[in-house]
A and B are shown apart, each in its own frame.
Chain A
């Protein structure tokens, strides 16, 4: 079955995945730019893996009185995932005071994921259907996005934009020189804790489409590409957002079209395709812009 360009935005089967992933990737790219300038690109990796035990714990509890087909069950599991992501965030921050941040991130990542694997193994034995439903979140399944998800993602993007509009200068200051920002005695609550909260929320929401394992790519790649195209943070945000949206579109487009062009039986997963497209865009800008004088 051949789809035209407009079908991707109108066809009831295709529009939710397309719009949903475009909006989500736009939001993630914006957050990713801030993570990039704060030199914490690896925390995205840790937090996304820390969401996994939340899913498993949630599913273990839900499985006792619900079946996985119900959307409320899924939503509650995502709530648990959000909880463990926040827990991991606090854990990493505490650990980083006493050991090197590198080791803190790695240990948190591995331990939390291990807890998830433990609960998952029990779930696999007791309620395999729930287990399978949760495993989907590892790599994401963009094709199962619905219009309601698109609305949720749009609200999230709105929140991120409002956040940036309100706190732009403070975020810039904290990202550049946190010690100096602290010395000015301005209130950094929304800039510091609020930012990580938004990031945790973004990661939880993105699990459905891109999946736990690949979220980190969506945070880093657009920011990396945008870095070369701009010298100011505002431009970097704009370019990053643009890159993220374009790669989400291309990823979805190719995923559907490859089945059309190559083989009916070939089903390319959308998550990895989106990440690869954003990586290619980023590499393209790096190579085109070339060396920047010191």
Chain B
């Protein structure tokens, strides 16, 4: 029996914090799993999102999240061959995720680089070409393997109510991995993001670090596709960073504020979802709520900023500066 049923917004959170401080007796309920996975995801994506936005590689992350479909199918087939029948419920084990992420990253980056460097195609076109082709291939493989496109839709949409313990574990490992990666290498990552040529001149392993970043992004979208779907994953990747960049202009601060904002929005989205279910008996998608909230709050903040700046300009003009 889910203790969160029939709870409204504030009582939902009071129960959650109560259970959190008492150590989640009786295991995690589905709402709690959602919160935990989204919070871990928001923290990891704050790191990765900041790096991708400043390096202008967000559409590459978009491409990667699409080509994951191919990676997942290949990993699934491989694991099926090695270990026998696998079920989709409960999530893929960590090994499956790593294989899928590695396949997706390697294939996407290799193909894109080959097109850009060898065949001299402009970068935006090569990214678009590679990921739509691989995604189409992925859909075809999924259809062939499962005789339906159900899997494909799930990857695009996500299914947050079906999160299992594997997902929680994977999200936690992702957060740890990202945290360590950024913790250990923050000055170097900042240097590589800002001035790659200089970083190469002091003999830093730029290509390796780049590959590791993309692998982490692939891992993050693997964890995210089960919870929120690959497209909302992009929302959580880019949204908090864009909002934070309205006010904050130092890289370390951008990361920390994006983390806080991402976590806050995720909590609000989950709480709202439960509240609307209780009050109006309509099960709205948490992922959709999250993306919509990120968009609306961003627009709201931008409008406020414009209004405030216009007021300031007008008062300055009045004083005659």
Whether the complex brings A and B within 8 Å at their CB atoms is answered yes
Given A106-B238, A110-B291, A213-B156, A282 contacting B129 (CB threshold 8 A): yes
Q: Are A217 and B136 in contact (CB under 8 A)?
A: yes
**From residue A292, how far is it (CB to closest CB) to chain B in Å?**
7
Instruction: Scan B126-167; emit 1 where CB is below 8 A from any A CB, else 0.
Output: 011100110111011001100101001100110000000000
Given A138-B156, A221-B129, A115 contacting B292 (CB threshold 8 A): yes
Chain-A contact segment, one of B89-97, B199-207, B280-288: B280-288
Tell me which residues across on chain B come within 8 A of A110, comparing CB atoms.
231-235, 237-239, 291
Chain-B contact segment, one of A17-25, A41-49, A145-153, A230-238: A41-49
Complex Cα distance, B83 from A270, in Å, reads: 33
**Residue of B at shortest CB range from A121?**
B285
Q: Are A221 and B229 in contact (CB under 8 A)?
A: no
Q: Are B290 and A114 in contact (CB under 8 A)?
A: yes
Complex Cα distance, B59 from A90, in Å, reads: 19
Q: Are A113 and B231 in contact (CB under 8 A)?
A: yes
Provide a sorted-by-A list of 5 A–B residue pairs whose CB atoms are within 8 angstroms.
Answer: A102-B57, A107-B235, A114-B290, A117-B285, A273-B140
Please pick, from A45, A223, A224, A292, the residue contacting B62 in the complex, using a CB distance under 8 A.
Answer: A45
Is B7 part of the binding interface, using a Cβ–Cβ cutoff of 8 Å?
Answer: no
**From residue A177, how far is it (CB to closest CB) to chain B in Å?**
16
Complex Cα distance, B144 from A266, in Å, reads: 8
Is A130 part of the binding interface, using a Cβ–Cβ cutoff of 8 Å?
Answer: no
Is B120 part of the binding interface, using a Cβ–Cβ cutoff of 8 Å?
Answer: yes
Q: Are B292 and A99 in contact (CB under 8 A)?
A: no
Please pick, from B62, B118, B288, the residue contacting A118 in the complex, using a CB distance under 8 A.
Answer: B288
Instruction: Scan A95-111; emit 1 where CB is below 8 A from any B CB, else 0.
Output: 00001101101110111
Given A114-B292, A115-B288, A125 contacting B283 (CB threshold 8 A): yes
**From residue B282, how far is it (CB to closest CB) to chain A in Å?**
6
Instruction: Work out how many contacts link A and B, with CB atoms closer than 8 A.
Output: 184
Q: Are A279 and B287 in contact (CB under 8 A)?
A: no
Tell me which residues across on chain B come within 8 A of A100, comparing CB atoms.
53, 56
Tell me which residues across on chain A come within 8 A of B294, comparing CB atoms.
111, 114
Tell me which residues across on chain B come within 8 A of A265, comparing CB atoms.
147
**Residue of B at shortest CB range from A95?**
B242
Is A120 part of the binding interface, using a Cβ–Cβ cutoff of 8 Å?
Answer: yes
**From residue B270, how far is it (CB to closest CB) to chain A in Å?**
14
Is B109 part of the binding interface, using a Cβ–Cβ cutoff of 8 Å?
Answer: no
**Residue of B at shortest CB range from A228?**
B119
Is B169 part of the binding interface, using a Cβ–Cβ cutoff of 8 Å?
Answer: no
Complex Cα distance, B128 from A109, in Å, reads: 14
Tell me which residues across on chain A come within 8 A of B115, comparing CB atoms.
286
Is B121 part of the binding interface, using a Cβ–Cβ cutoff of 8 Å?
Answer: yes
20 more A-B contacts (CB under 8 A) besides A107-B238, A114-B295? A41-B127, A42-B127, A42-B128, A102-B53, A106-B58, A106-B59, A106-B62, A109-B231, A111-B295, A114-B231, A126-B282, A216-B128, A220-B125, A220-B128, A227-B121, A271-B136, A272-B139, A273-B136, A275-B133, A276-B133
Q: Are B137 and A276 in contact (CB under 8 A)?
A: yes
Tell me which residues across on chain B come within 8 A of A102, comparing CB atoms.
53, 56-59
Tell me which residues across on chain A come within 8 A of B140, comparing CB atoms.
268-269, 272-273, 276
Given A268-B140, A272-B136, A114 contacting B125 (CB threshold 8 A): no
Q: Are A42 and B59 in contact (CB under 8 A)?
A: yes
Complex Cα distance, B64 from A106, in Å, reads: 13
**Residue of A at shortest CB range from B294?**
A111
**Residue of B at shortest CB range from A225?**
B129
Given A114-B295, A117-B229, A122-B282, A103 contacting B128 (CB threshold 8 A): no
Query: How big is the B interface, by class?
Result: 35 or more
Is A119 part of the binding interface, using a Cβ–Cβ cutoff of 8 Å?
Answer: yes
Q: Are A217 and B58 in contact (CB under 8 A)?
A: no
**From residue A175, how far is it (CB to closest CB) to chain B in Å?**
12
Q: Are A217 and B232 in contact (CB under 8 A)?
A: no
Tell me which residues across on chain A come within 8 A of B153, comparing CB atoms.
135, 138
Tell me which residues across on chain A come within 8 A of B173, comparing CB atoms.
none
Is A39 part of the binding interface, using a Cβ–Cβ cutoff of 8 Å?
Answer: yes
**Residue of B at shortest CB range from A262?**
B144
Q: Are B122 and A213 in contact (CB under 8 A)?
A: no
Please pick, from A99, A219, A221, the residue contacting B133 in the complex, using a CB distance under 8 A.
Answer: A221
Is B289 part of the binding interface, using a Cβ–Cβ cutoff of 8 Å?
Answer: yes
Tell me which residues across on chain B come within 8 A of A45, comparing CB atoms.
59, 62, 128, 132
Complex Cα distance, B128 from A223, in Å, reads: 12
Instruction: Scan A164-195; emit 1 where CB is below 8 A from any B CB, else 0.
Output: 00000000000000000000000000000000
Tell me which residues across on chain B come within 8 A of A121, comparing CB atoms.
283-285, 288
Please pick, from B57, B133, B234, the residue contacting A279 in the complex, using a CB distance under 8 A.
Answer: B133
Please pick, from A39, A111, A228, A276, the residue contacting B122 in the complex, using a CB distance under 8 A.
Answer: A39
The 8 A-B residue pairs with the shortest CB-CB distance in the complex, in nearest-first order: A114-B291, A118-B288, A217-B132, A121-B285, A117-B288, A110-B235, A111-B295, A110-B234
Is A26 part of the binding interface, using a Cβ–Cβ cutoff of 8 Å?
Answer: no
Complex Cα distance, B140 from A125, in Å, reads: 29
Is A40 part of the binding interface, using a Cβ–Cβ cutoff of 8 Å?
Answer: yes
Q: Are A220 and B238 in contact (CB under 8 A)?
A: no
